[in-house]
Amino acid sequence: MQRTTVTLDDELLARAEQLCGHLERSGLLKEALRALVQRESAKRLAALGGSEPALEPIPRRRSAA
């Protein structure tokens, strides 16, 4: 783990602290980075836009109506 000095928007930080409640600033920044990584990873996966034409139909739990 490394230490970093950052300049943050006071209003944005206050809003994030209000929404997240009990998190300390370091915890808040960790959560923000996790959310960013998750969102960007999902975007990259969606951008691949692949398909698998040879894939057999996946069984569903509900019956067709």
What's the rounded Cα separation, in Å, for the pair 34 and 28?
10
Label residue 65 by pLDDT band (50, 70, 90). Answer: low
Task: Decide which of 36 and 55 is more confident.
Answer: 36
Rounded mean pLDDT of the chain? 89
What band does 48 get if pLDDT is binned at 50, 70 and 90?
confident
**64 falls in which pLDDT band (50, 70, 90)?**
low
pTM for the whole thing? 0.67
The C-alpha atoms of residue 25 and residue 30 are separated, in whole angstroms, by 9
CB 25 within 8 A of CB 41: no
Q: Please give the angle made by the CA atoms of 35, 32 and 14, to the nearest 5 degrees.
A: 140
pLDDT at position 60 is 86
